[in-house]
Amino acid sequence: AAAQISDIEKARGLNAFITETPEKALAMAAQSDLRIARGEAGPLEGIPLGIKDLYCTDGVQTTAGSHILEGFTPAYESTVSANLWRDGAVMLGKLNLDEFAMGSSNETSYFGPVISPWRRKDSDKPLVPGGSSGGSAAAVAARLCFGATATDTGGSIRQPAAFTGTVGIKPTYGRCSRWGIVAFASSLDQAGPIARTVRDAAILLRSMAGHDPKDTTSADLPAPDYEAAVGRSIKGMKIGIPKEYRLDGMSPEIEKLWAQGVQWLIDAGASPVEISLPNTRHALPAYYIVAPAEASSNLARYDGVRYGLRAPGKDIADMYENTRAAGFGKEVRRRIMIGTYVLSAGYYDAYYVRAQQIRTLIKRDFETAFAAGVDAILTPATPSAAFGIGEKGSADPVEMYLNDIFTVTVNMAGLPGVAVPAGLSSEGLPLGLQVIGRAFDEETLFAVAEVIE
Ligand code: GLN
């Protein structure tokens, strides 16, 4: 832990951490030493981890990347982080993220952007680590921590993992408890790890997962021994290649990476089959209705009374208004406005109900593919490699939303998806592939991902 603490201090330029917790790390590491000496070591004993600042941590400021939560110190611990501490892990601090996890580049954080440790060949231009779990991905890629927690509502674990050459898995909806994690879009949000290797991700997920009576959407299933699935043979598996993911104007580099991935799976004894997920093209527009709708409802609780920031006002309504105006950033305000609009009486049927119907169709597309015997689906993780800070989305937010084209379907269907590093772009940046699986079959994902890695 001491070595990690000094590395974190040296890498402050990345802005990966919002809050460092060195004293806590050393105290937890000392406890770990005691348990090891007593022969009572847990599966993660002494392993230093970072926690995305969307997870409430007892006695440690939790901001969700927002000014409105600045100074909020929870008196409780999220179930997932508590599970990690139960198994012996050591907390290094709280990792930067897009404000309320809304973004794909970590540029919407009130605490400033995270800088990726990667650079393009022959260029010093700072790049984004992806988002919203940009701090988690950058910290793992820069070896500041052995692994990190992250969350994924539309791609926020997989896209930053792909951008930084790390492994990120969004488990099946319900696999990890959402209790104590600041809510963005509750029907889409899932916790998961970002790690250096497929094996590390498997080990971390096992500790993070499991039933929690405090989250009614948490599945009452034991967490399998995911590590045992790493290295398992994929011989005879059918791998679906969805034709709708072959986008017009797709970069040749991504196309080549995808073909290479298919070849690796063939070499390992699996057989690719072309499948059709016909509603894919509706996924992004439907996601950008459902997610803001749920966000506008979840974010109603930030009123200046209960948490964090309070801006004075002449009466209570004025105080609410001033607090929310001062506390929320531009992207969050945009989502609240879109969400409120699509949920309003006159537009509810035209937008929100429609989007929910599309969601059902997307889910059925996957069910049809899996019912036809497909074991897993292989797609690119992102449409491009990492881009420069300030390069995308400032004039047109849709440009940023397009980053999620390959990842949002998985959240809409509640399925597990993993991003695994698969090669480098011509500019020397990491590129990732995504493996999508059946609900509650993360084990197959780990087996397939291990072959690609
Ligand atoms: N980029 C997507 C969004 O901005 C996904 C974010 C996430 O998964 N938390 O909504």
Per-residue pLDDT of the chain (453 residues; tens, 9 = 90+): 899 999 999 999 999 999 999 999 999 999 999 999 999 999 999 999 999 999 999 999 999 999 999 889 999 999 999 999 999 999 999 999 999 999 999 999 999 999 999 999 999 999 999 999 999 999 999 999 999 999 999 999 999 999 999 999 999 999 999 999 999 999 999 999 999 999 999 999 999 999 999 999 999 999 999 999 999 999 999 999 999 999 888 899 999 999 999 999 999 999 999 999 999 999 999 999 999 999 999 999 999 999 989 999 999 999 999 999 999 999 999 999 999 999 999 999 999 999 999 999 999 999 999 999 999 999 999 999 999 999 998 888 998 999 999 999 999 999 999 999 999 999 999 999 999 999 999 999 999 999 999
φ, ψ dihedrals at 319, nearest 5°: -65, -45
Supply the residues annotated as catalytic: 52, 132, 156
Q: How far apart are CA 176 and CA 171, in angstroms?
A: 8
pLDDT of residue 140: 98
Q: How far apart are CA 64 and CA 17, in angstroms?
A: 12
pLDDT of residue 429: 98
Pairing status of strand 90-95 against strand 48-52: parallel
Q: Are 55 and 62 in contact (CB under 8 A)?
A: yes
Q: What is the enclosing helix (H) or strand (E) of 169?
A: strand 167-170
CATH superfamily of 2-229: Amidase signature (AS) domain (3.90.1300.10)
Bridge partners, residue 271, by sequence: 238
Q: Which residue minimizes the CA distance to atom 5 of ligand 1?
A: 154
pLDDT of residue 283: 96
Q: Does 184 contact ligand 1 (Cβ within 6 A)?
A: yes
Q: How far apart are CA 224 and CA 445, in angstroms?
A: 13
Q: For residue 131, which atom of ligand 1 is closest to its CA? A: 1
pLDDT of residue 410: 98
φ, ψ dihedrals at 193, nearest 5°: -95, 155
Q: Does 422 contact ligand 1 (Cβ within 6 A)?
A: no
Q: Does 132 contact ligand 1 (Cβ within 6 A)?
A: yes
Q: How far apart are CA 64 and CA 332, in angstroms?
A: 12
Q: Does 404 contact ligand 1 (Cβ within 6 A)?
A: yes
Q: Are 160 and 114 in contact (CB under 8 A)?
A: no
Q: What is the DSSP string of 303-314?
A: SSSSSS-----S
Bridge partners, residue 376, by sequence: 239, 437
Instruction: State how far the alpha carbon of 349 is from the alpha carbons of 279, 346, 355, 356, 360, in Å.
Output: 20, 8, 9, 10, 15
Cα four-point dihedral sign 135, 196, 104, 341: negative
pLDDT of residue 229: 98
Q: Does 393 contact ligand 1 (Cβ within 6 A)?
A: no
Q: How far apart are CA 172 and CA 430, in angstroms?
A: 25
Q: Does 138 contact ligand 1 (Cβ within 6 A)?
A: no
Letter string b/e over residues 376-410, b meaning 16 or more CB atoms within 10 A of that residue's CB: bbbbbbbbbbbbebeebbeeebeebbbbbbbbbbb
Q: Which of 23, 12, 51 is nearest to 142 (CA)?
A: 12
Distance (Å) from CA 159 to ligand 1 centroid: 9
Q: How far apart are CA 193 and CA 446, in angstroms?
A: 13
Q: How far apart are CA 30 and CA 403, in angstroms?
A: 42
Distance (Å) from CA 287 to ligand 1 centroid: 9
DSSP state, residue 139:
H
Q: Are 54 and 97 in contact (CB under 8 A)?
A: yes
Q: How far apart are CA 113 and CA 134, in angstroms?
A: 9
pLDDT of residue 248: 83
Letter string b/e over residues 289-304, b meaning 16 or more CB atoms within 10 A of that residue's CB: bbbbbbbbbbbeebbb
Distance (Å) from CA 131 to ligand 1 centroid: 7
Length of the chain in terms of residues written: 453
Pairing status of strand 271-275 against strand 190-195: unpaired
Q: Does 408 contact ligand 1 (Cβ within 6 A)?
A: no
Q: Are 73 and 79 in contact (CB under 8 A)?
A: no
Best mutation site among 104, 151, 335, 411 for ligand 1 pocket (most ligand atoms within 8 Å of CB): 104
Q: Which two tokens stand for residue 355?
A: 């989007």
Bridge partners, residue 423, by sequence: 431
Cα four-point dihedral sign 101, 105, 108, 114: positive
Q: How far apart are CA 201 and CA 416, in angstroms?
A: 13
Best mutation site among 102, 187, 338, 410 for ligand 1 pocket (most ligand atoms within 8 Å of CB): 102
Residue with tokens 């907390």: 91
